[in-house]
Amino acid sequence: MKPLPHEYEVKLTGTPSGYATVSASGMPDLMSAPPADFGGPGDAWSPEHFLMAAVETCLLFSLRAIARASKLEFSSLEVTGVGTVDRQAGVTRFTEIVLRPKLVIPAETDKERALRILDKAERSCLVSASISTPIRMEAEIAFG
């Protein structure tokens, strides 16, 4: 890992209506638009979907690092996440995020230890730590 601080530059290009393009050096462009719930077309990544994807991918990447350091083997992680947007204190915001990770581990692995490492990964995720929205995890550990 490079020494901190790290900086991430992202560029957004948009017009008064329609889709926006999100770009970053060396990466494919992403089309973005409001979700259908906010009058958008519902066929492009929205800021709301980007936030959920950031929380979920950060969980995986944090788990990879912590599992490696803890010598925990796992074969896969699948995360379904649901973010609830509501009005709270006069502001429309994410009021809760529920993550439902399914971690698949070898049969001889201690299930409780795997769950503790998964919990630590969620607490260590820099994206989750950067937002004020409560995050609840409903984890499933499976052998395979």
Cα–Cα distance measured from residue 41 to residue 35, given in angstroms and rounded to the nearest whole number: 6
Strands annotated E in 63-108: 76-88, 91-105
- Verify that 64 and 9 share a domain, yes or no: no
- Verify that 57 and 78 share a domain, yes or no: yes
What pLDDT does 119 receive? Answer: 98
What pLDDT does 131 receive? Answer: 97
Question: pTM of this prediction?
Answer: 0.95
- Verify that 21 and 92 share a domain, yes or no: no
Cα–Cα distance measured from residue 115 to residue 137, given in angstroms and rounded to the nearest whole number: 11
- Verify that 6 and 58 share a domain, yes or no: no
Tell the burial category of 26 from Cβ atoms under 10 Å away from its Cβ (0-12, 13-18, 19+).
exposed
- Verify that 58 and 117 share a domain, yes or no: yes
Tell the burial category of 15 from Cβ atoms under 10 Å away from its Cβ (0-12, 13-18, 19+).
exposed
- The percentage of the chain sitting over the pLDDT mark of 70, rounded to a whole number, equals 100
The structure tokens 């980007």 sit at 50
Mean pLDDT in the chain? 98
Structural domains in the chain (count) = 2
What pLDDT does 92 receive? Answer: 97
The predicted-structure confidence for 62-113, as pLDDT tens digits, reads as follows 999 999 999 999 999 999 999 999 999 999 999 999 999 999 999 999 999 9
Residue 132's CATH number: 3.30.300.20
- Verify that 106 and 81 share a domain, yes or no: yes
- Verify that 105 and 123 share a domain, yes or no: yes
Tell the burial category of 125 from Cβ atoms under 10 Å away from its Cβ (0-12, 13-18, 19+).
buried
What pLDDT does 50 receive? Answer: 98
- Verify that 106 and 53 share a domain, yes or no: yes
Confidence of residue 55 (pLDDT cuts 50, 70, 90): very high
Q: Which domain holds residue 124?
A: 47-143
What pLDDT does 134 receive? Answer: 97
- Verify that 39 and 21 share a domain, yes or no: yes
